[in-house]
Structure 1
Amino acid sequence: MINVKTFLLIIFCLLVSSCSTEYQAEPQELDEWTVSTISPKNYTAVVDILLITGEKKKRGWTGLVSNYTTESLSPLKWDGVDRYHSGYFIEDAELPGLIYIRWHSLANKVTYNKAIRISENIRNKMREYHDIRCGKSNRLKPYKNNILLGLAPDGMISVFLNGRCFDNELQFKVQAVEYTVADDFVYPELSEEAQAYVDEHGVPTGIW
């Protein structure tokens, strides 16, 4: 026969269990995100300027000055890359509306610049909550909160969306335009490995 203390303990446990199953924490609002850059292997890019304007045009951020980009594993693809690269981290609930980038392509010694508009559709994808966990810690990483800019040596920019638990998702491509630098500007040198590859294969166009 169950004594009173045991009976009360069982009732208490049932009540706690019921409350825990009925209560679900509200998803937190996306309030931190990144803009990152990457270039194809051996086609090194150096980001000179990155300016970001918020969607409501009330906020602005500057980052990635003179930052060598992370490179993909293959010269002609964006494959095998991590989800985060040379990223500029922003803590704000206001998402980007416009990104201006200027970078130096070291393989062909050309400087490009472009203003990239981030659509409401992309911002909605960034705000969408996913109940998903990943990594060794199996922590909840619910948002696609990284905009990745793939900087090709022909000036083509591939705009990806990803996150800690999400692979690269191509959103669109846009062609940057050449920017005239000062006459005395000196481009940094490629690594020996990269220079040897470019000498052999050149700088193709329309690949990325």
Structure 2
Amino acid sequence: MINAKTFLLIIFCLLVSSCSTEYQAEPQELDEWTISTISPKYYTVRGDILLIVGEKKQGGWRGMIGKTTMESESPLSWDGGERFHSGYSINSDELPASFYIRWHSLANKKTYNKTIKVSEDVRNKMREYHDIRCGYYDLLLPYKNNILLGLAPDGMISVFLNGGCFDNELQFKVQAVEYKVADDFVYPELSEEAQAYVDEHGVPVGIW
């Protein structure tokens, strides 16, 4: 006959085994991702419109990325810990096939637009599971689930992938084209600090 102590030990072992089995279950598939934007420091941009076509090409999403895009730590690079800022979040396991973006560059008062195709290779990188934890709370953040668009004042777009535990990984660059705005369109002003920098250094071309 099993005594009480032995019975409790068996129950405990069964619970531990159950928890272990649950912990080792197959990882959950990627079902949420974002498209975010960033501009070089002082070269402020404002997102206007974002249209996303899903990979099944049966529908998509529409939204604004953000009134003021976050800036990098340097005027001449994309360096910094910036990620998921000015982001547009999508709750879906369907990833993008392409997207259209239009934005205003305040430094040189120009508006750009571009349709960008997302390759199967990029989508596969987003879906790839990595057993990786990071941060103060040691959270499991296994996916490169953020497409980060570096929007330069000359219209160049640097397309990165990153995630909670991943730094920016450049995928490719594309050149946007200038978009003709209405004659009475008024561009917002730069901050005093940004305007002083642009007045001194101008708007470089071809460095981002």
TM bracket, shorter-chain basis: over 0.9
Q: Aligned to 1:51, what secondary structure does the other structure show?
A: strand
What's the TM-score, normalizing by structure 2? 0.92
Q: Secondary structure at the match of 1:107?
A: coil
CA-CA distance at 1:11 after TM superposition: 4.3
Are 2:35 and 1:35 aligned? yes
Q: CA deviation at 1:14?
A: 4.2
1:191 matched residue in structure 2: 191
Residue 119 of structure 2: aligned partner: 119
* Structure 2 runs not aligned, ≥5 long: none
| Secondary structure, aligned partner of 1:67 | coil
Amino acid at match of 1:33: W
Match of 1:168 in 2: 168
Q: Does 1:76 align with 2:76?
A: yes
Q: Which has the higher mean CA deviation after the structures are superposed, 198-207 or 81-90?
A: 81-90
User: What is the distance in 2 between the residues matched to 1:65 and 1:185?
Assistant: 20
Question: Which shifted more, 168-177 or 136-145?
Answer: 136-145
TM-score normalized with structure 1 length: 0.92
Distance 1:66 1:182 in 2: 21
Partner AA of 1:83 in structure 2: R
Task: Encode CA deviations 1:75-129: one digit per residue, 9 max, x unaligned.
Answer: 0011113221100011011101111011111111111110000000010111111
Listed one character per residue, the Cα deviations across residues 139-168 of structure 1 (whole Å, up to 9, x for unaligned) are: 221111100000000110000001111111
Q: Deviations over 1:39-83 (max 9, x none)?
A: 000000111111111011112111126621000110001111322
Deviates more, 1:151-160 or 1:6-15: 6-15
Any conservation in 1 of the 2:34–2:88 contact (CA below 8 Å)? Answer: yes
Runs of 5+ consecutive residues of structure 1 not aligned to the other structure: none
Superposed CA RMSD in Å reads 1.7
Counterpart-to-counterpart distance in 2, 1:62 and 1:168 = 24
Moved more, 61-70 or 166-175: 61-70
Preserved CA contact (<8 Å) 1:151 1:157: yes
Paired residues in the alignment total 206
CA contact (8 A) 1:83 1:166 kept: no
Quick one: structure 1 residues 7 and 81, their matched pair in 2 at CA, closer, same or farther if it must change by over 3 Å?
closer
Q: CA deviation at 1:17?
A: 4.2
Q: Residues of 2 paired with 1:7 and 1:155: CA distance?
A: 72
Match of 1:5 in 2: 4
Shift of the alpha carbon at 1:18?
Answer: 4.6
Deviation at 1:12, TM superposition (A): 4.3
Asked whether the equivalents of residues 148 and 160 of structure 2 are also in contact (C-alpha less than 8 Å), the reply is: yes
% identity of equivalent residues: 72
In the alignment, the residues of structure 1 paired with residue 69 and residue 76 of structure 2 have an alpha-carbon distance, to the nearest angstrom, of: 16
Q: 1:135 to 1:66 in 2, by over 3 A?
A: closer
Cα shift at 1:185: 1.0
In structure 2, relative to structure 1, the CA distance for the partners of 1:22 and 1:182 (3 Å cut) is closer
SS at match of 2:4: helix
